[in-house]
Structure 1
């Protein structure tokens, strides 16, 4: 099935991996004894940033702070819808300082409706906007009580989805938004009830195989036409092409050592 599609320019926030390293383990991808190459991580990140700009998107950057090696994963820093900013409150102590750092950036850049959350939520890691609805992940990081907090703050319906696979600890590792009405996801990452909800809401969704999910292929960004995703996820690229999208493979293998890829590096500023 091929569909006529068009890209919509987006405004994005990114953070260079100037202090990137894997010195602790808070997900199954992180192995502190495994060597990391910060120069390579920065090069791969710069290639992603430049690709976004080449595709017509605006990229803002936030200054990385020493001692916060995961700050490069900007998607976790907040959730922004209609110019409203829901701050992130991290579960693990190693990342808690990232929440205030990102919130300060928004306040300094003129955002007025900013909420410091009462409950744990890890930004767009677990909050994905599909049209005028928010899909909200829980099970490993984000407190399910934060879903009601987000719905009240944004004034949009929030659908809760429960994750069960430790390798897919955030929603954005198991599900990607392709357009206002389309997603791709890995069914086995969710409880049976959440799988049923997704089938009901998105009966024509693209399903990722075990192999594609293991390659982090769902940690992707779409502007409605171009879908940036890990270049190793060839099967997903074929499915996207058949639906009329333009898949673009990206190499972020160095950052994957910390459990992050395209979407993790990208926070959308929906002003």
Structure 2
């Protein structure tokens, strides 16, 4: 992966096993010799240590120059993509790939099943105008519940620390981990996704967990249907898409029906035997 800046190029690649994919250390330009380089292992450990931690209710500024409180995005999962708008290579590729993955995930989980936030972490240059231009360039404006925002330096540092994100200033840009964070409905970090072009299931599976849930104790029809949808929504590697597998659905339905009929038959036999036993004692 080569990243260009002022006619010079450099590839920075961090290979780490995480969520079944590869993650990358991106650079906008060669860092000065005095600047410490990111340590791959330390950056990965910091990122993973953030899982389970809560993100504060920070107030950001969106692409229209309006305040955007993270508290407004609570109540459903939130996907946070961390970029800087002046990046010419890694961040654009990541954003375009995430856009396509989000469209596919919402097709399976529902249009309002989760929200997305592209956060510009260059506090000095990621202003509303730059965010709006970034949204236009990468065709994000027409996507529902996709927000772009930035913040002042202090808020930015706090938010990135809570997300376990590692970055270093470099000449003309930043060295940073290519990281997308998935938060649950309460604002806790649930999963980290690494890499520019991660496989769709790496994003989709944790969202399935959060939106549909692995376990439900409720017998409410909506909760039971979510459980069935969780089990029957499967990934087809041939098409690269998720779909509802009606074969699994009918298998669950007829399996449950078979168990119900078997239970009724056993109950009737047991009741018949009890009545026979009582009549035998009576005579």
Using the size of structure 2 for normalisation, the TM-score is 0.28
Greater fraction of residues in helix: 2
TM-score by length of 1: 0.29
